[in-house]
Structure 1
Amino acid sequence: MNEKVIAMKKIRWGILSTAKIGVEKVIPAIQASTHSEVMAISSQSLDKARVAATKLGIPKVYGSYEELLDDPDIDAIYNPLPNHLHVDWSVKAIRAGKHVLCEKPIGLSTKEAEQLLAAATAQPELKVMEAFMYRFHPQWQRARQLVDEGAIGNLGAIQSFFSYYNVDAANIRNRTDVGGGGLMDIGCYCLSLSRFIFGAEPRRVMGAMLHDDSFGTDYLTSGLLDFGSGTSVFTCSTQLAPYQRVNILGTTGRIEIEIPFNAPPDQPCRMWLQTNGKLEEIIFATCNQYTLQAEVFCQAILDNTAVPTPLTDAVDNMRVLEGIVESARSGSWVVIS
């Protein structure tokens, strides 16, 4: 890696777009990271970029994504663009010599994800990672540790549920042309956590999907992942009461995570560990999982080490997601691995 980058104490970030998740959650969290400095934000509307920059105290604004990528003072890009633009602009950022943290899902298909992987592989000095921030929260690190240590016996089943209610036709989550739908937006978490906790890929998957007659997007998707040694079942919905919960069950105990995905940055989180008939509540100190994600990503750049979630994981998650969709269409099991 370039000695100049190694010597840097902070990674200089540029933000592609004024997306709500970036402005409200991720950018402030990156700014709170010890090794980060948000230097620029871009938008197709210069006025929108200026408003966001003023609100967040970002020194540089650009009226196009290309201008930001051309800025030699930017080291890393955060890409929260709509799903259909994830791969295209992440590839452009890589070719511009920037590290990339890209929002989930990594793309619209396995083929797209593989295109991004190929671009990243061609420039191995750059770090590229899918932004599944939940994995960096201590509650998930602890859950995986407990499972790996056999605290709940042999892992047998995972149950996950994630929902919210949104019937705004203009919202990108309800638009098929930009990769909307419940599975792409929040179901991808359920697939990711299943693979994360089992530490393996499912052999086959089964899916069922209901689609909104007006939007065309799936508003309720359920799935079953068969890992051979156990299963994971999930339901996600964009038209149900807001709720989220994960249960992880083994032969001698279980783990329940109260707020598994949108862990609040301003209050402690809880999980429960039940073993030998005893229920233990585990409290996790207040933290911001987006800040933790930024810290880990920056550290990988500064130390020139591998990112904790390689792009191959993103490709594998997309492969499982496509399997759920294919199964829902065919009504049959789809073999993954």
Structure 2
Amino acid sequence: MSKIRWGILSAAKIGTKKVIPAMQKGVYSDVVALASRKAETARAEAAALGISKAYGSYEELLADPTIQAVYNPLPNHLHVPWTIKALEAGKHVLCEKPIALSSAEAAHLLDVSRQYPQLKVMEAFMYRFHPQWQRARQLVQEGKIGKLRTVQTVFSYYNTDPTNIRNQADIGGGGMMDIGCYGISLSRFIFGAEPTRVMGIVEYDPTLKTDRMASALLDFGDGTATFTCSTQLSPYQRVNIFGTEGRVEIEIPFNAPPDRPCKMWHQRGDEIEEIMLDICDQYTIQGDLFSQAILYNTPVPTPLEDAVANMKVIEAVFESAKKNGWV
């Protein structure tokens, strides 16, 4: 069976600890190279992961003609520049979220990508491909909770390390870019629509200057979505989807464990069904789906237009918080 040959830009932990090991289990994905700004780091990480090629620069990896696709888990401010460089080098790109620092930057990437119609580009919102989210959306679409009315999301962790890229405002750090983007993405995913207006409240860390807690209300016309995200709260994540006749609750909606079954609940009336999902790795599924899109020249599961739309809502939340009103 054919596999897509993947190269990894950087030795970022999300890649070395989660994405690469998962993709190595894939049916359609073959990770063959890893690049870092330091050759010794690249060699050490590649050796630890059983990857055959190691490069001391991103340019060297992109120049390798045997690599077909690139995974870009670089810091947020490098997502668009290096995704464009990868496209220019003739590589398909799976780029970590958020796709860009602004909707304008994301739109620029979309425009550039259209110059390479033979190449695939996708934002790596891996959660959407987990069976629990596919099941949740199916239940909503089939009317199993009645009419969809509101979605509630909480996603938080505690991290005040100033050296962590999530806490560096000048390179796209902060809670909204890191985890608030999930609250927006999933709401759009479940409603199958864009919010008409948003209201946001954002609190900033006085020293780090990053947004450390944000809450928002998204108006979808026929329903609403609310979320709170924070980089300085007790670690927690949960999603509840409410309809006129029932609800769906997802226990671990984003960091779904790859080594044990995931759990969700479907309530209709007074009856609550506990749903156990088979063990799987959402990063493996994501890598294989993207690889299949390349192999069979089919559309990627999540088009780049979706990434641009998500960035627009993120910006609207920030703008609303500044204006203290609806945007």
**Please, which of 126, 132, 143 is the counterpart of residue 125 of structure 2?**
132
Instruction: Say if 2:57 is the partner of 1:60.
Output: no
Q: Report how far residue 141 of structure 1 moved.
A: 0.2
Instruction: Say if 2:89 is the partner of 1:96.
Output: yes
Once superposed, which parts of structure 1, at least 4 consecutive aligned residues long, lie more than 3 Å away?
A: none
- Equivalence for 2:210: 217
- Equivalence for 2:3: 10
Q: Report how far residue 86 of structure 1 moved.
A: 0.2
1:58-111 Cα deviation digits (max 9, x unpaired): 111111111111100000000000000000000110111000000000000001
Q: Report how far residue 36 of structure 1 moved.
A: 1.1
- Equivalence for 1:208: 201
Q: Find the aligned partners of 1:95 and 1:119 in 2 and give their Cα distance.
A: 9
Q: Report how far residue 268 of structure 1 moved.
A: 0.3
Q: Find the aligned partners of 2:244 and 2:252 in 1 and give their Cα distance.
A: 24
Instruction: Say if 2:140 is the partner of 1:147.
Output: yes
Q: Find the aligned partners of 2:156 and 2:61 in 1 and give their Cα distance.
A: 35
- Equivalence for 2:300: 307
Q: Find the aligned partners of 1:147 and 1:160 in 2 and give their Cα distance.
A: 16
Instruction: Say if 2:215 is the partner of 1:229.
Output: no
Q: Find the aligned partners of 1:109 and 1:234 in 2 and give their Cα distance.
A: 20
Q: Report how far residue 28 of structure 1 moved.
A: 0.6
Give unmatched runs, 5+ long, in structure 2.
Answer: none
Q: Find the aligned partners of 2:227 and 2:269 in 1 and give their Cα distance.
A: 26
Q: Residue 91 of structure 2 aligns to which amino acid in structure 1?
A: K
Q: Residue 169 of structure 1 aligns to which amino acid in structure 2?
A: P
1:177-201 Cα deviation digits (max 9, x unpaired): 1100000000000000000000000
**Please, which of 41, 61, 75 is the counterpart of residue 68 of structure 2?**
75
Q: Residue 192 of structure 1 aligns to which amino acid in structure 2?
A: S
Q: Secondary structure at the match of 1:162?
A: strand
**Please, which of 35, 38, 43 is the counterpart of residue 45 of structure 1?**
38
**Please, which of 300, 316, 320 is the counterpart of residue 327 of structure 1?**
320
Q: Find the aligned partners of 1:329 and 1:51 in 2 and give their Cα distance.
A: 45
**Please, which of 106, 112, 116 is the counterpart of residue 109 of structure 2?**
116
Q: Find the aligned partners of 1:234 and 1:276 in 2 and give their Cα distance.
A: 25
What aligned pairs does 1:239-254 form with structure 2 within 5 A after superposition?
A: 239-254=232-247
**Please, which of 187, 190, 201 is the counterpart of residue 194 of structure 1?**
187
Q: Secondary structure at the match of 1:169?
A: coil
1:18-48 Cα deviation digits (max 9, x unpaired): 0010000001111111111111110111111
Q: Find the aligned partners of 1:293 and 1:243 in 2 and give their Cα distance.
A: 24
Q: Identity over aligned residues, as a percent?
A: 65
Q: Secondary structure at the match of 2:114?
A: helix
Q: Residue 213 of structure 2 aligns to which amino acid in structure 1?
A: L
Q: Secondary structure at the match of 1:286?
A: coil
Q: Report how far residue 277 of structure 1 moved.
A: 1.1
Q: Find the aligned partners of 2:277 and 2:147 in 1 and give their Cα distance.
A: 25
CA RMSD of aligned residues (A): 0.6
Instruction: Say if 2:148 is the partner of 1:164.
Output: no
- Equivalence for 1:4: none
- Equivalence for 2:260: 267
Q: Residue 117 of structure 2 aligns to which amino acid in structure 1?
A: P
1:191-226 Cα deviation digits (max 9, x unpaired): 000000000000000111111111000110000000
Equivalent pairs, count: 327
- Equivalence for 2:277: 284
Instruction: Say if 2:14 is the partner of 1:26.
Output: no
Q: Secondary structure at the match of 1:122?
A: coil
Q: Secondary structure at the match of 2:5?
A: strand
- TM-score, normalized by length of structure 1? 0.96
Q: Report how far residue 51 of structure 1 moved.
A: 1.0
Q: Find the aligned partners of 2:9 and 2:104 in 1 and give their Cα distance.
A: 23
Q: Find the aligned partners of 2:269 and 2:227 in 1 and give their Cα distance.
A: 26
Q: Find the aligned partners of 2:167 and 2:127 in 1 and give their Cα distance.
A: 23
Q: Residue 31 of structure 1 aligns to which amino acid in structure 2?
A: Q
1:262-301 Cα deviation digits (max 9, x unpaired): 0000000011000021000000011000000011101111
